Chains A and B, each alone.
Chain A
């Protein structure tokens, strides 16, 4: 087990997750005014009408896929009747489609923001740039891994290695050696993904916590009154 492995898979996850948890709490408590989607629809609309829904729905699908593959142990899946073969076919087919949709969304958004429209480039903040670079790298590497190993290549069961490592982090006993044995491309993907969680509180990604589900049940017109003494 090299020092690099220990740093990346034993230490870095805890730094990133601490930044994620503490950072989000800190941001929520100190920066309600800055807590927004920071929409740029006012500046550009035609491309966004396609790019944004493709990106967001693709992202949701990818997120669900990662949760199913990494958080739910293989044994649980088998016990509810999903055989490893069935899972593999499902994950590769649906996962590739979701990944491609997500990639398309990110490409469109990056084109829109950085190449085509001056107006949006000018309302872009440093946090947006860091986020897009990380997101772009993670997607490129993730798609390469999926296509290279599981679509075109011999196949790789990340549920036996990366999933185990990921769950072990939350049990405060990181299985560093398991992760260290995984192909480097998966290692890089995971390490960068942790980076995205680390910058999350400092970027516009915080708007994900504000999904307005309460809207479905609240009374239509909101009244407020200054509190009486």
Chain B
């Protein structure tokens, strides 16, 4: 066992209203620069829908993530290293700008230069070429099922479910899915980078690109199954979500999390066993979620704590791991699930599947959304939403999704009973009243300090500090700050 610590996030989809504030504040912070106009480190998409870039989940097309070969070995879906090197001159799986969208501006000059007495019109111009264009895409083009005949219909998750299911689905179900880099434990982008420019930070698991080592081979862009590594159009270098590491190191949440108006995001530390990562990534399809859960280590277990200290995890980080809302939601209460575990990258951004569409459906079916029996009936009778969510979060295991939704419904009914003094409803198997009250606290009323439990980075132990004595390490491009980070192979 080798204990490592990694930052993780949980998003409660039940509370996401799709306002895209996270996307906008992220863009203002990170990608409002030349060459990144089409780049959204964080985007919010409507499900069902194709998302951004269009059809990103379809790995038959992009060959992102990992797969098991004939003899059960783990390999990148884009083939072995030699295959990638042979395709280095032109990467067939690389998305083009049309798969994202072509950013547009408007011909504002026409408004000012039009002669008097005419009605001026500002027509859209391509931000890349300056030529007139029809705007036909955007980072949330199919927002709120707009154009769902075309976009929701093309959702790759329906492939397993069939078209009859799809039509039924569109009439009953819709939710928002905010997406960012997953900062995976087994990142495909890092493994695919020919230059070794991408790396995972040992201290907090954040996955970054070393812009000085990136040579623009663009294998990371296609290898990431979540399509969350981008190519800067002008600099020719890869860029990605940084998990706002300068903020995280200060103990502050990421910009997307802090500005979330629905307060749907939680950030915390997870301890995990580095030696168990590979086996978990090789787990059977039916067992992927539990396999990843098994990689996480119980921060309350004295043996884990002792090993963590021996492996150099700081004491305050272990304490943070014990208070981690991610541990509570993903491990203790098991209401959070990973996004597309079948990509086998062991993502670290998890989601609580949405219950509210099912409550709406309960009412639509003539039931009472406040009656637990009616809600449970809806959950188990409405196969479609549950099966769809299973495609997204459990690699097709509907029972696991049902369990989570049942628990979420039970929180409502239990708290109703507690506050009104009504009869205690029967609780789902293995769930206690105190569990539900704890979940209610965490999901409903948790304050900033409980939603974001982020220990400060221990930069005082690093070489930069020594250099601060004699001056600013950033003064020279070759300064200590640049030199102090070095590649390292772990045992």
Which one, B155-163, B232-240, B292-300, B429-437, is touching chain A?
Answer: B232-240
Q: Does B190 contact A (CB under 8 A)?
A: yes
Residue of chain A at shortest CB distance from B231: A42
Q: Does A221 contact B (CB under 8 A)?
A: yes
Residues of A within 8 Å of B213, CB to CB, are: 32
A: interface residue count bin: 35 or more
Give the docked Cα–Cα distance between A50 and B90 (Å): 8
Residues of A within 8 Å of B382, CB to CB, are: none
Which one, A86-94, A117-125, A132-140, A192-200, is touching chain B?
Answer: A117-125
Residue of chain A at shortest CB distance from B460: A229
Give residues 188-215 of B contacting A (CB, 8 Å): 190-191, 193-196, 198-203, 211-215
Residues of A within 8 Å of B82, CB to CB, are: 216
Q: Does B487 contact A (CB under 8 A)?
A: yes
A122–B199 touching, CB < 8 Å? no
A224–B486 touching, CB < 8 Å? yes
Residues of B within 8 Å of A29, CB to CB, are: 478
Q: Does A35 contact B (CB under 8 A)?
A: yes
Partner of A229, one of B199, B462, B488: B462
Q: In angstroms, how far is the closest chain B Cβ from the Cβ of A44?
A: 7
Give the docked Cα–Cα distance between A225 and B236 (Å): 26
Give the docked Cα–Cα distance between A219 and B464 (Å): 27
Partner of B128, one of A35, A119, A221: A119
Give the docked Cα–Cα distance between A38 and B216 (Å): 6
Which one, A63-71, A158-166, A206-214, is touching chain B?
Answer: A206-214
Residue of chain A at shortest CB distance from B211: A33
Q: In angstroms, how far is the closest chain B Cβ from the Cβ of A63?
A: 15
Residues of A within 8 Å of B198, CB to CB, are: 222
Residues of A within 8 Å of B128, CB to CB, are: 43, 119, 122
Give residues 113-166 of B contacting A (CB, 8 Å): 128-131
Give the docked Cα–Cα distance between A199 and B130 (Å): 31
Residues of A within 8 Å of B490, CB to CB, are: 219, 223
Residues of B within 8 Å of A221, CB to CB, are: 186-187, 190-191, 200
B216–A37 touching, CB < 8 Å? yes
B235–A223 touching, CB < 8 Å? no
Residues of B within 8 Å of A41, CB to CB, are: 90-91, 94, 96, 218
B196–A226 touching, CB < 8 Å? no
Residues of B within 8 Å of A43, CB to CB, are: 96-97, 128, 233
Q: Does B332 contact A (CB under 8 A)?
A: no
Give residues 27-73 of A contacting B (CB, 8 Å): 29-30, 32-39, 41-45, 48-50, 52-53, 55-57
Q: Mark B439-464, 1 if CB is under 8 A from A, else 0.
A: 00000000000000000000101111
Partner of A36, one of B91, B94, B216, B488: B216
Q: Does B415 contact A (CB under 8 A)?
A: no
A38–B89 touching, CB < 8 Å? no
A119–B202 touching, CB < 8 Å? no
B96–A44 touching, CB < 8 Å? yes
Residue of chain A at shortest CB distance from B4: A223
Q: In angstroms, how far is the closest chain B Cβ from the Cβ of A60?
A: 10
Give residues 108-131 of A contacting B (CB, 8 Å): 118-119, 122-123
Q: Does B28 contact A (CB under 8 A)?
A: no
B94–A45 touching, CB < 8 Å? yes
B191–A220 touching, CB < 8 Å? yes
B462–A32 touching, CB < 8 Å? no
Give the docked Cα–Cα distance between A29 and B482 (Å): 13
Q: Does B85 contact A (CB under 8 A)?
A: yes
Q: In angstroms, how far is the closest chain B Cβ from the Cβ of A207?
A: 6
Residue of chain B at shortest CB distance from A105: B89
B85–A216 touching, CB < 8 Å? yes
- Which interface residue of A34, A38, A210, A220 has the most chain B CB atoms within 10 A? A220
B231–A215 touching, CB < 8 Å? no
Q: In angstroms, how far is the closest chain A Cβ from the Cβ of B14?
A: 34
B463–A228 touching, CB < 8 Å? yes
Residues of A within 8 Å of B96, CB to CB, are: 41-45
Give the docked Cα–Cα distance between A118 and B129 (Å): 6
In the complex with contacts A32-B212, A33-B235, A42-B94 CB distance below 8 A: yes
Q: Does A172 contact B (CB under 8 A)?
A: no
Give the docked Cα–Cα distance between A212 and B463 (Å): 30
Contact surface of B with A, Cβ cutoff 8 Å: 81-82, 84-85, 88-92, 94-97, 128-131, 186-187, 190-191, 193-196, 198-203, 211-218, 231, 233-237, 459, 461-466, 477-478, 483-490
17 A-B interface contacts by CB (under 8 A): A36-B237, A41-B94, A45-B94, A52-B89, A119-B129, A123-B233, A207-B215, A214-B196, A215-B195, A219-B490, A222-B190, A222-B193, A222-B196, A223-B489, A224-B202, A229-B461, A229-B463
Known pairs A123-B234, A224-B200. 5 more at Cβ < 8 A?
A36-B215, A42-B218, A122-B130, A215-B196, A221-B187
The 8 closest A-B pairs by CB, nearest first: A212-B194, A32-B212, A36-B216, A38-B236, A226-B462, A225-B202, A220-B191, A36-B236
